[in-house]
Chains A and B, each alone.
Chain A
Amino acid sequence: MTDPVADEGARMHRLVDRFMSAVPHLQALGIGYVQNGANWAELRMPYAPQLVAYPETGVIASGAVFSLMDSAAGFSVFVTMGRFEPHATLDLRCDYLRPARPGKAVIGRAECYKMTRRVAFVRGIAHDGDPGHPIAHVAGTFMLTGAK
């Protein structure tokens, strides 16, 4: 017997994996898919020397965290729609709560908490191991450019 919920999860996992492996900038940053729910997505960016902004401390660039969160937010819109429709970031704000710890992978988790016909509203956090102690918080909007 098949479990429709698990099947749907596996289908989405395959879709997101395939989609992400075709995005060169995500490859350049080493960003990969972790998991998703009905309206949220989680991505992971492993620590890497090319992400460093402060060589004296080894802390990674805030811009890399922004890229991770922009991508996680975009994927949360994608999973909420359940299919790929063109969408573009309208705006995104990122609060940098503390530096990411050198050597630690950064997890970005974003949710699409409201979807209208043309605009998707997103929010999310980035953390480096403990979601209760985030390194960044984001809020933003996406335009569904395929909407009539």
Chain B
Amino acid sequence: MTAMPPYAAMLGLNRLGNLICMPFGPHLIGTPGRLHGGAVAGLMEIAANMTARDAIGDLEAALKPVNVTVDYLREGVLEDTHAEAFIMRLGRRVVNVRVEAWQADRGRLIAAARLNLLIVKPAPATRLTS
């Protein structure tokens, strides 16, 4: 496991196998009694990136977000939030990812997201054939 980047650390995320957990903290609150939708979106983007990176397996490849669409299904209450991402298709240039987020009950999703990530591979090194 690689270290979480500063933004993920600010959200307080930690990884448990395929899942990412965002333990509740007061810095995640939006309106009184509810999580900010942006924090949930941030969690889901990072879950998507992590799962896509694992699927690609190429440590040299970079992932660039093209877009994300978030459906908010239920309000996020002041509890721990979990997310899991699923690869819809892993292509050569793009990886299409779906993400689910829930709190106490995995069967009651609070948000679902869809992301398209661009796979950017470094130019192949010139082979020396002497």
Contact = CB atoms under 8 A, between A and B. Distances in A.
B108 interface: no
A46 to B, nearest CB: 14
Contacts, number: 113
Interface in A17-51: 23-29, 49-51
Contacts of B100: none
A60 B42 CA distance: 12
Interface stretch (A5-13, A66-74, A109-117, A118-126): A66-74
B29 A49 contact: no
A105 interface: no
A51 B9 CA distance: 9
Given A63-B42, A70-B38, A93-B68, A23 B30 contact: yes
Contacts of B126: none
Contacts of A23: 29-31, 36
A64 B42 CA distance: 7
Nearest to A93: B69
Contacts of B66: 95-96
Nearest to B72: A89
B7 A51 contact: yes
A91 B36 CA distance: 14
**Which of the four size classes fits the interface of chain A?**
35 or more
Contacts of A16: none
A25 B36 contact: yes
A10 to B, nearest CB: 24
Contact of B67 (A54, A67, A71, A93): A93
A61 B45 contact: yes
A62 B65 contact: yes
A61 B72 CA distance: 20
Interface in B1-32: 5-10, 26-31
Contacts of B45: 61-63, 66
Interface of B: 5-10, 26-31, 35-39, 41-43, 45-46, 64-72, 75
Q: Shortest 10 CB-CB distances between A and B: which pairs?
A: A67-B38, A63-B42, A25-B36, A61-B7, A28-B27, A93-B69, A50-B10, A24-B29, A95-B67, A63-B45
Interface of A: 23-29, 49-55, 60-64, 66-68, 70-71, 86, 88-96, 99
